[in-house]
């Protein structure tokens, strides 16, 4: 898939006009923030750069001996709660005390952390764990430090170091967090500009709604929900962020409307993927969507069960067959 992905990128030549059966999503766009004149160059570069410095998909098996996939999942589920301020009262996590939930709500409501911060946080965690052995008692330290770094990069007003210490019940000192921050940044070579699933999802959702006069808010919520579900699951590290984003759009379209094909020429053009290229990821994502009762890590699901997001976490999708990927 990666070699094919590189070949697909070569076809995204700046200045090329879409084929006749492809809707031009950048035509007559007067919004300068959309960068219509060179957006193709931007995404061509992003799709090439996602192949660089990506986390190892098997670092748990190859490097880590004191932490498990489950511990990673618990950590990330907790970090999701920090960002979205969703608290399951009475639901205890490995790293949390009931007091933390109240404090987390105060922090997230004050700072309103954006979704991009969460995606970058998890990238930093996985990238660091791909290259460095860590003991389980320092895993939460890595988590809050990664969120500190991501907040400084993504947020207008980032939380202070002391607040990250406080939400861990002062398990770690300010000095320990700052020391870990240096380790994370040095390990990354200060390369923090990386494309995440969220980066591609914005563009792909635009392509998915190219023929609509009014964008579907529900489709956007559902695609974002499906994409965020993958953050907790270690198994999705084997898929490129652009593949996950494309798969989320595919499954969201299928969930909302089975009368239309979930993939079309416009999506194939702007994602650079045929439906067959994302079949494995779509299948894994649909399993996550259906697995609502067997997963104890429900922060993302609880978020998207709220009316604010049109309760898209309550939606399910019919089984897909091979015809949808041919």
Q: What pLDDT is attached to residue 260?
A: 86
In the chain, the percentage of residues whose pLDDT exceeds 70 is: 82
CA distance 324 to 261: 7
The string of pLDDT tens digits covering residues 267-296 is: 999 999 999 999 999 999 999 999 877 777
| Residue 106 pLDDT class (50, 70, 90 cuts) | very low
Contact 155, 88 (CB under 8 A): no
pLDDT over threshold 80, residue 319: yes
Per-residue tokens: 189: 């070579």
**More confident position, 211 or 176:** 176
Considering only residues 92 and 50, tell me which one the structure prediction assigns the higher pLDDT.
50
Q: Residue 16, Cα to own-chain centre: how many angstroms?
A: 29
Residue ranges of domains in the chain: 59-188, 195-325
Token pair, residue 194, equals 């990386």
Q: What is the pLDDT of residue 123?
A: 96
Tokens of 259: 């009368």
Burial 207-240 (b: 16+ CB within 10 A, else e): bbbbeeeeebebbbbbbbbbbbbbbbbbebbebb
Pick 27 or 319 by higher pLDDT. 319
Q: Supply the pLDDT for residue 293.
A: 72
In the prediction, which pLDDT does 138 show? 95
CATH class of the domain comprising 59-188 = mainly alpha
- Of the candidate ranges 5-9, 40-44, 145-149, 225-229, the one whose mean pLDDT is the lowest: 5-9
Spatial contact of 93 and 71, defined as CB atoms under 8 Å apart? no
pLDDT in tens, 115-144: 999 999 999 999 999 999 999 999 999 999
Asked if the 195-325 domain carries CATH number 3.30.9.40, the reply is no
What integer pLDDT is reported at residue 81 of this predicted model?
A: 82
Q: Whole-angstrom Cα distance, residue 238 to residue 95?
A: 27
């Amino acid at each position: 898939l990666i070699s094919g992905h590189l070949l697909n990128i070569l076809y995204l030549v700046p200045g090329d006009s879409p084929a006749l059966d492809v809707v031009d999503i950048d035509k007559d766009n007067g919004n300068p923030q959309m960068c219509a004149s060179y957006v193709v160059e931007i995404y061509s570069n992003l799709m090439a750069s996602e192949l660089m410095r990506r986390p190892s998909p098997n670092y748990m098996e190859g490097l880590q001996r004191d932490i498990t996939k489950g511990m990673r999942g618990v950590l990330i589920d907790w970090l999701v709660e920090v960002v979205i301020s969703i608290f399951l009262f009475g639901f205890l996590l490995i790293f949390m005390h009931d007091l933390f939930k109240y404090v987390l709500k105060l922090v997230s409501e004050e700072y309103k952390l954006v979704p991009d911060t969460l995606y970058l946080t998890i990238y930093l965690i996985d990238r660091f764990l791909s290259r460095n052995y860590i003991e389980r008692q320092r895993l939460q330290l890595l988590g809050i430090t990664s969120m500190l770094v991501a907040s400084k990069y993504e947020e207008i007003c980032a939380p202070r170091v002391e607040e990250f210490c406080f939400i861990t019940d002062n398990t770690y000192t300010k000095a320990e967090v700052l020391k870990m921050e240096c380790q994370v940044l040095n390990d990354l070579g200060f390369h923090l500009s990386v494309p995440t699933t969220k980066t591609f999802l914005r563009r792909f959702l635009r392509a998915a709604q190219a023929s609509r006069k009014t964008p579907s808010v529900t489709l956007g919520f559902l695609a974002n929900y499906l994409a965020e579900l993958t953050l907790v699951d270690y198994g999705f590290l084997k898929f490129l962020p652009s593949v996950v984003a494309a798969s989320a759009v595919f499954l969201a379209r299928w969930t909302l409307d089975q009368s239309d094909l979930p993939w079309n020429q416009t999506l194939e053009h702007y994602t650079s993927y045929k439906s067959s290229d994302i079949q494995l990821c779509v299948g894994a994502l649909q399993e996550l969507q259906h697995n609502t009762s067997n997963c104890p890590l429900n922060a993302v699901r609880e978020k998207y069960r709220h009316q604010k997001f049109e309760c898209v976490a309550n939606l399910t999708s019919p089984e897909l067959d091979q015809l949808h990927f041919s």
